[in-house]
Amino acid sequence: MDNYVRIFDTTLRDGEQSPGASMTSAEKIEVARALARLGVDIIEAGFAAASPDDLEAIRRISREVSKIAGARGEPPVICSLARANKGDIDKAWLAVQDAPRPRIHTFLATSEIHMKYKLKMDPEEVVDRVVNMVGYARSLCTDVEFSPEDAGRSDPKFLYVVLEQAIKAGATTLNIPDTVGYTTPDEYGALIRGIVENVPGVENVILSTHCHDDLGLATANTLAGIRNGARQVEVTMNGIGERAGNTSLEEVVMALQTRRPVYGLNTGIDTTHLVRVSRLVSNYTSIVVPPNKAIVGANAFAHEAGIHQDGMLKNQETYEIMRPETVGAQNTRLVLGKHSGRHALKARLLELGYELSDADLDKAFERFKTMADKKKVITDADLEALVSDELLQSHEFYKLDDMQVASGTIGMPTATVRLIGPDGQKRAVAAIGTGPIDAVYKAIDQIVQVPATLLEFSVHAVTEGIDAVGEVSVRVSANELPGKTMTYAETERVRSYGGYGADTDIIVASAKAYLSALNKVLITSRGGD
């Protein structure tokens, strides 16, 4: 068994299945690029059969992300999920075949409850289907992963049979999902150990973990899997995913690195990118990272209690097991000032991992100059907020042109909003609300006319100080999409949409966030961006 743990990132597939986390193709490509630079070994770019948009996004990632080499000098493997049927497998292959290193990942449930009630198949039929579909996938692609869904609740003896047959049919990676996050670390470790000891041929394939966090045990289970022989881990940035989410990439990577004497294992991750990629994913999915989240939370390296601060001043290791700069959490002050040029900005953005087109760079530069006029000190975090905001706005149907708000203790809060529509026409509307943000949102609603309900709204400052950039994340629900009949799978997946906006004025940031969520509804209804 080697001492390298492959990082299989499923932020764009299982992560995107989090309620409201749907991203546009442009956002997915940006995230895939960031993951490649972070050094992940495999990117599960989506579920090609879910919709034509998903298939197209995976195709684009397969072509565009292949130029970025990771830790081992190779581009990441690009993978698509597929149910165990020919139609799904064909779509998965179509989506990934242009990648220099493609993979098809197919799955079929093996627990009694799933086989009986969901699949309505008996165990023999399941084994036959696995043999046929893994074999079919292998006839198309040399890299095939098989997952027995709900392995955590499957009979281990049956699992051994299914896995042995999957290997014989050509699977090169066997992934063991704890689909409902039910197992404990001892149980999950024993499950992996049992597979290592009882499945003929397992020594020729890679064993993988895939843990969900329903009991808050996903990271512990994943580490138990590694200790017992797994050499691939399926993880997401910030732990986003179905229900309580998946295992957090950053937690597993930093546990392996910080406790190397215990595990003796390596990954190819450049940990200094972790916080940046975490912010990018949070901005694009509008899933806010809790301040106390391990590794990437805003408080992960903050020391409040006097006794801790005193200890830190004497020796940082008293209360710090990792240095903030190891994960890119230091709030680096941008060495650029308001007199810096476009080249300096471009170079800094490249260092931060953003490769902007000339047009996007021009807009970012304009915004940077405006921000530098308002704020004396610009941090990397400010710059990341600015670029996320700019990239989001640049792919939108409706853009904010201007707005003015009157509010206070007397009278009715009123907002006048002017938007540029998809046809380039400007339209201005005024509205009254219960507060300034309500008034702005009512004015936007009158122009955009998407039937949506605001579900969540949160605002936070990117850095300290009165002049801080404010970031706003919203989530809206839109059960019907204007002018589009959706398949069942689409209705299931697209019920809520996140939006993100950043500005030194939080009412402007709020308007941008709401507009970006409505734009996502429109982009989905018109089939891609």
Would you tell me which residues interact with ligand KIV (CB under 6 A)? 14, 81, 107, 147, 149, 175, 177, 179, 210, 212
Residue nearest to Zn ion (CB): 14
Query: Minimal distance in Å, beta carbon 272 to Zn ion?
Result: 28
Q: 81 or 130, CB closer to ligand KIV?
A: 81
**Angle of CA points 92, 96, 100, to nearest 5°:** 155
Of 152 and 436, CB closest to Zn ion: 152
Q: How far is the CB of 89 from ligand KIV (least distance, A)?
A: 14
| Kind plus residue range of the DSSP H or E element containing 268 | none
From the list 12-20, 157-165, 216-224, 396-404, the region that binds Zn ion by CB under 5 A is 12-20
User: In the complex with Zn ion, which residue's Cβ is closer, 14 or 382?
Assistant: 14
Give the contacts of 498 (CB within 8 A, at least 6 positions apart): 20, 21, 22, 284, 285, 286, 287, 473, 474, 475, 517, 520
Min dist CB 213 to ligand KIV, Å, is: 11
Contact, 253 vs 213, CB < 8 A? no
What is the CB neighbour count within 10 angstroms for residue 336? 16
Place of tokens 């899997």: 225
149 binds, among ligand KIV, Zn ion, none (CB under 5 to 8 A by kind): ligand KIV
Cβ closest to ligand KIV, residue 28 vs residue 210: 210
**Phi and psi for 462 in degrees, rounded to 5?**
-65, -40
Q: Using CB under 5 A, which of the segments 9-17, 96-104, 257-265, 458-466 binds Zn ion?
A: 9-17
CB of 311 vs Zn ion, minimal distance in Å: 40
End-to-end CA, the chain = 44
- Cβ 243 to Zn ion shortest distance, Å: 10
Q: Out of Zn ion, ligand KIV, none, which partner does residue 219 contact, by CB within 5 to 8 A per kind?
A: none
151 conformational bin, left if phi > 0, alpha if psi -120 to 50, beta if neither: alpha
Give which of ligand KIV, Zn ion, none residue 107 binds (C-beta under 5 to 8 Å, depending on kind): ligand KIV
Helix pair 274-285, 25-38: axis angle to 10 deg: 170
- Rule CB under 5 A: say whether 490 interacts with Zn ion: no
- Identify the bridge partners of residue 163 per DSSP, sorted by sequence position: none
Is the backbone of residue 264 left (phi > 0), alpha (psi -120 to 50) or beta?
A: left
Which lies closer to ligand KIV via its Cβ, residue 83 or residue 418?
A: 83
Nearer to Zn ion, 1 or 489 (CB): 489
CB of 72 to ligand KIV, least distance (A): 24
- Helices 380-394 and 274-285 pack at an angle, to 10 degrees, of 40
Please identify, using beta-carbon distances, which residue of 22 and 393 lies nearer to Zn ion: 22
Q: Whole-number minimum distance, CB 28 to ligand KIV, in Å?
A: 18
Closest contact distance (angstroms) between CB of 115 and ligand KIV is 14
Q: How far is the CB of 13 from Zn ion (least distance, A)?
A: 8
Dihedral of alpha carbons 453, 458, 459, 462, sign: negative
Q: How far is the CB of 187 from ligand KIV (least distance, A)?
A: 16
CB neighbour class for 120 (10 Å; exposed up to 12, middle 13-18, buried from 19): exposed
Answer for the pair 35, 9: CB distance below 8 angstroms, yes or no. Answer: yes
Q: Which secondary-structure segment (H or E) carries 383? A: helix 380-394
What is d(CA 450, CA 445) in angstroms, rounded to the nearest whole number? 7
Phi, psi of 324 (to 5 degrees): -55, -35
Considering beta carbons, is residue 33 or 91 the nearer one to ligand KIV?
91
- Site membership for Zn ion, residue 16 (CB under 5 A): no
| Nearest approach, Cβ of residue 95 and ligand KIV (Å) | 16
Residue 396: name its binding partner from ligand KIV, Zn ion, none (Cβ under 5 to 8 Å by kind): none
Task: Using DSSP, state whether 107 is helix, strand or coil.
Answer: strand
Which of ligand KIV, Zn ion, none interacts with 520 (beta carbon under 5 to 8 A by kind)?
A: none
The encoded tokens of residue 260 equal: 């190397």
Q: CB 212 → Zn ion: shortest distance, Å?
A: 6
**Is 14 among the residues that bind Zn ion (CB under 5 A)?**
yes
Q: Do 502 and 492 form a contact (C-beta atoms < 8 A)?
A: no
155 or 310, CB closer to ligand KIV?
155
Size of the site for Zn ion (CB under 5 A): 1
Closest to Zn ion by CB, 171 or 383? 171
Instruction: Kindly tell me which of 212 and 293 has the beta carbon lying closer to ligand KIV.
Output: 212
Q: How far is the CB of 191 from ligand KIV (least distance, A)?
A: 14
Quick one: which of 518, 493, 527 has its CA closest to 396? Answer: 518
Based on CB atoms, which residue is closest to ligand KIV, 27 or 242? 242
Q: Return the range that interacts with Zn ion (CB under 5 A); candidates 8-16, 128-136, 418-426, 491-499.
A: 8-16
456 exposed, middle or buried (CB, 10 Å; 0-12, 13-18, 19+)?
middle
What's the order of all strands across the beta sheet hosting 426-432? 399-406, 414-420, 426-432
Pick what 46 binds: Zn ion, ligand KIV, none; C-beta below 5 to 8 Å, kind-dependent. Answer: none
Name which of Zn ion, ligand KIV, none residue 368 binds, using a CB cut-off of 5 to 8 Å depending on partner kind.
none
Burial of residue 417 (number of CB atoms within 10 Å: 0-12, 13-18, 19+) = buried
> Which one of ligand KIV, Zn ion, none is in contact with 106 (Cβ closer than 5 to 8 A by kind)?
none
Alpha carbon distances (Å) from 207 to 174, 252, 349, 379, 444: 5, 16, 37, 42, 50
147 binds, among Zn ion, ligand KIV, none (CB under 5 to 8 A by kind): ligand KIV
Question: Which residues have CB under 8 Å from 298's CB, separation 6+?
Answer: 289, 291
Instruction: Specify whether the CB–CB gap between 517 and 498 falls below 8 A.
Output: yes
Interface residues with Zn ion (CB under 5 A) are: 14
